[in-house]
C-alpha cells in the first residue's frame, strides 16, 4: 500500500535519570510523519527487544547518557538478531564518545547521533536507510 508511515521504537536502556532528549526526538519524528512508539526510562535490553518484536518496528532508536553504552547497546543488537529482527535498523544517540563508535557499528548500530544532531538529519537518515519490507 502506497506510503505507510515508518514505525520507530524510541527506547532508553539502562539507568538514565531523565529522558528529555528522547522525548524531544520522539515528538520531532512524529512531526516528520513517523509512527513513534515510546517506552520510557529504565528499559532492560530484553524489554526493548520484546517491544521491538511485538510492535514490528522498522527502526529501534536507543538513547543513552549513562556511559553504559558499550555493554547495553551490543547486547540489544544481539537480542534483536536472536529474535530474527535482523532487518530492523538500529541507531543510537546521547552521550557516546567518538572513540566508541567503530566498535558500536561493528556490533550492529547503523548510526550514532551525538549532541547537536537535528531532527531533520535523523529523519532523513532513517528514511534513506530503513529496509523496505513487504
Partner 1 sequence: MGEPADRAAELCDAALAGDRRALARLLTAVENRTVAAEAALRRLYPLAGRAHLVGITGPPGAGKSTLVAALIAELRTVGRSVAVIAVDPSSPITGGALLGDRVRMQSYAGDHDVFIRSMAARGHAGGLASTSGAAAAVLDAAGFDLIFLETVGTGQSEVEVAAAADTTVVLEAPEMGDEVQAIKAGLLEVADLVVVNKGDRPGAQRTAAQLRAMLVASVPRNDAHHHPRPKRPEVLVTTASTGEGVPELLTALDRHRAAGRDGSAEAARLARAEHQVWAIVSDRLRDRLHDPGRRAVTEATLHEVAEHRLDPYAAADRLLGSLGWRD
Residues that bind partner 1 (CB under 8 A): 1, 4-5, 7, 26-27, 29-40, 43-44, 46-47, 49-51, 53-56, 83-85, 134
Q: Give the nearest distance from C-beta 66 to partner 1 in angstroms.
A: 19
Cell of 35: 509512527
Please give the C-alpha separations between residue 70 and each of 11, 23, 75, 124, 134, in angstroms, as whole numbers.
16, 23, 9, 26, 33
CA–CA distance, 131 with 119 (Å, rounded to integer): 20
Smallest distance from the beta carbon of 65 to partner 1, in angstroms?
18
Judged by CB, which is closer to partner 1: 38, or 113?
Answer: 38
DSSP E strand stretches across 1-134: 7-11, 35-38, 59-64, 89-94, 111-113
Nearest approach, Cβ of 42 to partner 1 (angstroms)?
A: 9
Between residues 54 and 71, which has the closer beta carbon with respect to partner 1? 54
Nearer to partner 1, 55 or 100 (CB): 55
Amino acid at each position: 500500500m502506497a506510503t505507510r508511515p515508518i514505525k520507530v521504537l524510541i527506547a532508553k536502556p539502562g539507568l538514565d535519570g531523565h529522558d528529555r532528549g528522547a522525548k524531544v526526538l520522539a515528538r520531532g519524528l512524529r512531526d516528520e510523519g513517523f509512527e513513534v512508539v515510546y517506552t520510557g526510562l529504565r528499559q532492560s535490553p530484553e524489554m526493548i527487544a520484546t517491544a521491538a518484536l511485538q510492535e514490528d518496528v522498522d527502526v529501534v532508536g536507543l538513547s543513552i547518557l549513562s556511559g553504559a553504552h558499550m555493554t547495553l547497546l551490543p547486547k540489544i543488537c544481539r537480542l534483536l538478531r536472536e529474535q530474527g529482527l535482523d532487518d530492523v535498523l538500529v541507531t543510537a544517540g546521547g552521550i557516546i564518545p567518538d572513540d566508541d563508535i567503530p566498535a558500536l557499528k561493528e556490533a550492529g548500530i547503523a548510526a550514532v547521533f551525538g549532541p547537536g544532531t537535528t531532527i531533520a538529519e535523523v529523519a532523513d537518515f532513517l528514511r534513506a536507510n530503513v529496509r523496505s519490507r513487504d
